[in-house]
Amino acid sequence: MKKLSKKALKTINGGETVYIRCEFSGRVGQIHNVETFEDIAQGAATICKNGESFSIS
């Protein structure tokens, strides 16, 4: 999985599905209908608890 910068995340165009993996717990999940970085951040907060960092593919 490739880690993206905040700037790169802002370029993700709407309607896409993003796959994330939590760095420490190893938990994985999908975030659907991504249009903005905020969509990813909200989904990641649900999947990765306690502010855990994550990677996106």
Question: Is pLDDT above 70 for 44?
Answer: yes
pLDDT in the model for residue 13: 55
In a domain, 1, yes or no: no
Question: Considering the entire predicted model, what is its pTM?
Answer: 0.64
Q: Which residues contact 20 (CB under 8 A, 6 or more apart)?
A: 28, 29, 30, 31, 40, 43, 44, 47, 48, 54, 55, 56, 57
In a domain, 41, yes or no: yes
3-state secondary structure of 38: helix
In a domain, 30, yes or no: yes
Residue span of the structural domain in which 46 resides: 6-56
Confidence of residue 2 (pLDDT cuts 50, 70, 90): low
- The number of distinct structural domains making up the chain is 1
Question: Is pLDDT above 70 for 48?
Answer: yes
Residue 39 phi/psi, 5-degree rounding, is: -60, -40
